[in-house]
A and B are shown apart, each in its own frame.
Chain A
Amino acid sequence: MSNHPSIDALRQLFEEQLQAASTEQALKGIHDAFLGRKSGTLTQALKGLASLAPEARRETGQQLNALKSDIELALDERLSALAASRPPAGAVDVTLSSRGFPIGRIHPLMRVRQQVEDIFTRMGYEILEGPEVEDDYHNFEALNMPPDHPARDMQDTLYLREPIVGGTWGAHRRSTGARGAPGGAEGRGWLPAAQVRAATLLRTHTSAMQIRYMKTFPPPIRIIVPGRVYRRDNLDLSHTPMFQQFEGLVVGPDVTLADLKGTFEAMLRELFGDVSVRLRPSFFPYTEPSAEVDISCQSCGGAGCGTCKHTGWLEILGSGMVHPAVFEAVGYDPGQVTGFAFGLGMERVAMLKYGVDDIRLFYENDLRFLEQFPL
């Protein structure tokens, strides 16, 4: 046996080679190396049996034949396993990049708007839009800001050179005629009120719709009016000449300042998560008492930081109890009803909610900004 490798060594050699072989070709190479008709190591060994003594020939022959059948079996197994793992015809490389399915995004301001709309819808509010061009009466005068009122300075107004016909509002109420006009006319009776006949200015707040709505419908009222408003402001980090507002109005026989508090706590907690809400006295001509509403600063947890100017609080909206002069202007009896009104800036909410520090980003419409808001 000295001129042949030992059988155990052969077996070991085979197993090592089998282990390393991963392709059909490699397996075929192993087959040839051991069982090749002419030069296969095992074939050679079997041929060499003839030279052995009969006793040794029988024993070695048995071992060599056992090894041969083991090799054949192992190679067959590996070959069929390899065949089974080969991808079927037309198989694809699933790791190649996909073809892509273009999908757009809702603007972050509209995202905020839809969220606020949803919150108030669940609270039983009616949501409606109003015209963007308005007249002086609805934007100022009926809101307790007669001409020459100092508060008009707070809202630097953009005026039209000549009046135009403004937009319509409340088309849905015309078709259903749910409540009819305060004058007693039902259904379609209030149609003329639903259009701005001679708009002279760009509304400075959505509050103008308070007047249109109250002049058209009797109490109780619970509405939300989202929309664009305009001020004669230059563009900077925190100002744009156009921005988005939410007007809210609730009127009924006994609406209270405590109701206002409850409403804002519910709304702001849903919008911002677990925040504290506080009211601060303020001044608006169309509300009395008036209040600014703050939420606790989330960046510092109320301890004070740059975002909240070290007060721990962030101003989020202006509000108050509807001024009796406003009720008088629309023909409501301030002795019979009370109400609260509020105005919420969508940019402000979006800036706080998404950590945006430059309001102009909302109006540049840069895709790299917009795509950060998931659908």
Chain B
Amino acid sequence: MRVLLSWLRELVDVPGSAEDIARTMSLRGFAVEGIEPVPADVSGAGGPADAVLDFEVTGNRPDCMSIVGMAREIAVAYGVPLKPAGQPPAAPKRKAGLADSRTQGGRPAGKKGGAAGIDIVIESPDLCPRYVGAVAEVEMGASPAWMQRRLEASGIRPISNIVDITNYVLLETGQPMHAFDLARLAGGQIRVRAARPGETLRTLDGQTRTLPPEALVIADAERAVAVAGVMGGGDSEVTAATRTIVFESAYFNPLSVRRTSKRLGLKTEASMRFERGADPSLPPAAMARALVLIETTGAGRPRGRVIDRYPARIRPATLRLRRASLAGLLGCPIPDRDVRRILERLGFTLGKAADGWRVVVPTRRGDVTREVDLIEEVARHYGFDRLPVTFPALAAAPPPVDPRITRARQLRRVLTAAGFFEAVTFGFTSEAAAAPFAPAADLVPIANPLSESFAVLRPSVLPGLIDAVAHNRRREQRDVRLFEIGARFTRSGGERRAVACAWTGTAAPEHWSGSARAVDFFDIKAVVERVCGAVGVAVQTATSADSSLAAGSRADLIADGTRVGVVGRLAQAVADAHGLPDDDPVYVGEIDLDALEQLAAGRTIRVAPLPRYPSVTRDLSVLVADTLTAADILRTVRDSAPATLVRVNEFDRYQGKGIPDGSVSLSLRLTFRSSDRTLTDAEVQAATDRVVAALKERHGAVQR
């Protein structure tokens, strides 16, 4: 809300400067977005420079979308009186346009159309509880310079004397007004009714719009002439040729205006006020003001009486305000005199009650519907800074921390220790980037995406992470290790949490002591194993068919028979799509944290006794088919060995010279130990022989 300081000062003798007002009012709930110096009043040559304060009016305070509304708040804040509605620079010559709301629309004098020559009928009183209309003879022209200056300072373009008056009244009082050309209203009628199916209207902005069925319109005897509370129609607007006008000053149902404005995609100064809630008591006063302005600016003279149709009277609410609630919510008692001073000056009427007050709420304050709203009004002008500073009492022991949070912290420690930097990427991605990670039918599309690059929820954390790798690669960072912990989404699985990591470049960076080593599958495998191990779950790898990863370098992560993730080299096509260079492979892994967490649930730490007897190792080299997996061979070893086999690991793998094609030489180290005795050579040899025999039988292995 742009407020011209000189205009404001007509209503309230505020002592401070623009800056002081801004500071004071921001502490009363009206932040100032800017102070714009403007030249002093056209009439007051040499007078002090003027300024426009741009107040941020929150959505609950439509009453402050006006000079009077802001002046009222400022008057309370500074403890100065609010003067009656502004006297414009040129004083009014005489009073005009007596409102006759008592008779609810006035007696239709004479024939149809009445004395004023207009007939007003409200067909939908629920959507239009009040409609005030008046007729005036006018001489179209420009409005006076002072009015134009005020409109311009407030951000409204002057158009003509009549239109300017409607805008001036809107800015001053907050009441939206409209002017029709009476000659262009068929039958001299105004009918406030619902739009007819398929009804169209060419609005003031020149567009022909099909009116939504629930829209409320102002119509003449034949057709819609305005979208109620939103915008007037082009066919009935005042023009240079207009001789007689009808002023509209009404109160429309906020929800109805909001829906219509949204449907039409049309936001106006009027609709913004109506949809937040205008003041149902204001239309007659605003009309009177407009009629005064017509006369004082020489734009014309009112004809006949003001018609005030008010079929659905809105009564002011009465609320209870208890001292105990006030003190209970704010943390300290507020003196009675402050409560009374603040509320009365804001326009509330206070009556006494045993435990506090009975408060009548002015109709402009539709936002005040509960006791707590009154408490806010008191607190706001009493000053938040005057409230004490206390601390909430702890009534119970706090419950444990969500283990997800503890877990995320643990994984951050594990992964940063492994050289990974934490990334945070968006929860959505493009359909193309998501495609390699989930079937199209399993993606979760966003109904109203900002752009194609944010069209679906990410089915995997990887697309964003790979983008981050590519970002760094483009900026001379060859060695990149990134991880992210976050949610991912599919239609079949819903929202699940995952941890993902990506690694490109070297595993051992360049150093004077030796050559660098590029990252390979077994480096990233170690990372995902470490993550699972940190959660307390042992995982196995099995050859995977995941198409986001490169064939021949990809694995599923299996724990307790469940697939909990994948690991491997990113498929070249995916890397290409993210703009990554061909020569440096990117290794990635992703693990479903929810699944892992479930497997780990209830696991506790139990210490095993330390070994009391020495262990014995035996090395064993076998020739096997190179299509056989290490997992198969190790399984056979474990199956065939006695329980004294405590460990088996591959310590060499060789293919090439001296090894037949299609074969591989695998060297295994077997460690035996018993918990109750020292093993004899014979026992260990017998066990090793059994292993060799089993390998030969199951896999045709030849011992070397």
Contacts and interface: CB of A to CB of B under 8 A. Distances in A.
14 contacts: A100-B511, A103-B417, A109-B424, A128-B401, A132-B495, A159-B446, A202-B427, A241-B426, A257-B329, A262-B389, A289-B329, A289-B376, A362-B424, A365-B472
A185 interface: no
Given A102-B419, A167-B496, A263 B402 contact: no
A258 B445 contact: no
B390 A150 contact: no
A265 interface: yes
B426 A363 contact: yes
A121 B401 contact: yes
B9 to A, nearest CB: 23
A159 B446 CA distance: 6
A104 B275 contact: no
A365 B384 contact: no
A125 B391 CA distance: 13
Given A257-B329, A280-B384, A289-B375, A132 B446 contact: no
A131 B495 contact: yes
Nearest to B485: A110
Interface stretch (A17-25, A34-42, A75-83, A168-176): A168-176
Contacts of A125: 398
Contact of B395 (A96, A104, A220, A283): A220
B449 interface: yes
Contact of A324 (B28, B370, B384, B389): B370
A254 B328 contact: yes
Given A158-B446, A250-B392, A263-B392, A129 B480 contact: no
A283 B58 contact: yes
B258 A150 contact: yes
Interface in A250-275: 250, 252-259, 261-263, 265-266
Nearest to B513: A99
Interface in B409-428: 409, 412, 415-428
Given A241-B454, A283-B61, A129 B390 contact: no
Contacts of A162: 444-445, 491
Interface stretch (A5-13, A44-52, A62-70, A366-374): A366-374
Contact of A366 (B328, B395, B472, B489): B472
Contacts of A250: 392
B497 interface: yes
Interface of A: 96-97, 99-100, 102-107, 109-110, 114, 117, 121, 124-129, 131-133, 148, 150-151, 153-154, 158-162, 164-173, 175-176, 178-179, 196, 199, 202, 220, 222, 226, 228, 230, 232-234, 240-242, 244, 250, 252-259, 261-263, 265-266, 278-283, 288-292, 311, 321, 323-324, 338, 362-368, 370-371, 375
Given A132-B487, A162-B491, A172-B403, A338 B329 contact: yes
Interface in B94-139: none
Contacts of B275: 150
Contacts of A262: 389-392
Contact of A172 (B255, B400, B417): B400
B389 A127 contact: no
A239 B495 CA distance: 25
Contact of B489 (A164, A233, A338): A164
Nearest to B475: A366
Given A150-B258, A172-B400, A365 B416 contact: no
B392 A129 contact: no
8 shortest A-B CB distances, which residue pairs? Answer: A258-B331, A102-B419, A165-B494, A256-B331, A281-B29, A283-B58, A289-B376, A167-B495
B332 interface: yes
Contact of B487 (A228, A266, A291): A228
B403 A97 contact: no
Interface in B482-531: 482-483, 486-487, 489-491, 493-497, 509, 511-513
Contacts of A169: 402
With most chain A CB atoms within 10 A of its CB, the pick from B328, B379, B494, B509 is: B494
B376 A281 contact: yes
B416 A230 contact: no
B415 A104 contact: yes
B391 A259 contact: yes
Nearest to B28: A281
A92 B504 CA distance: 32
B414 to A, nearest CB: 10
B402 A280 contact: no
Contacts of A166: 494-495
A160 B446 contact: yes
A194 to B, nearest CB: 12
A346 to B, nearest CB: 10
B450 interface: yes
Interface residues of B, number: 98
Given A100-B509, A127-B402, A170-B402, A288 B421 contact: no
A288 B416 contact: no
Contact of B255 (A129, A148, A255): A148
B611 interface: no
Contacts of A278: 27, 384-385
B427 A256 contact: no
A280 B32 CA distance: 12
Contact of A252 (B376, B392, B403, B494): B392
A159 to B, nearest CB: 4
B424 A196 contact: no
A133 B511 contact: no
Contact of B446 (A161, A171, A244): A161
B60 interface: yes
B380 interface: yes
Interface of B: 23, 26-29, 31, 58-61, 255, 258-259, 275-276, 328-332, 370, 372-373, 375-376, 379-380, 384-385, 387-396, 398-405, 409, 412, 415-428, 444-450, 454, 457, 468, 471-472, 475, 477, 480-483, 486-487, 489-491, 493-497, 509, 511-513, 594, 597, 601
Contact of B389 (A158, A240, A258, A321): A258
B450 A241 contact: yes
A133 B454 contact: no
Given A220-B396, A282-B29, 6 more contacts: A161-B446, A176-B399, A261-B388, A283-B29, A321-B372, A365-B424
Contact of A102 (B424, B446, B481): B481
A220 B331 CA distance: 18
A282 B28 CA distance: 8
Contacts of B389: 258, 261-262, 265
A109 B691 CA distance: 54
A153 B398 CA distance: 36
Contacts of A289: 329, 372, 375-376, 379-380
Nearest to B416: A104
A283 B513 contact: no
A280 B29 contact: yes
Contact of A291 (B384, B395, B404, B481): B384
B262 to A, nearest CB: 8
A143 to B, nearest CB: 14
Contacts of A151: 59
A254 to B, nearest CB: 6
Contacts of A323: 372
B523 to A, nearest CB: 11
A77 B100 CA distance: 124
Contact of B448 (A232, A311, A367): A232
A107 B422 contact: yes
A117 B457 CA distance: 27
Contacts of A222: 392, 394, 398
B511 A114 contact: no
A365 B390 contact: no
Contacts of A196: 495
Contacts of B481: 102, 104
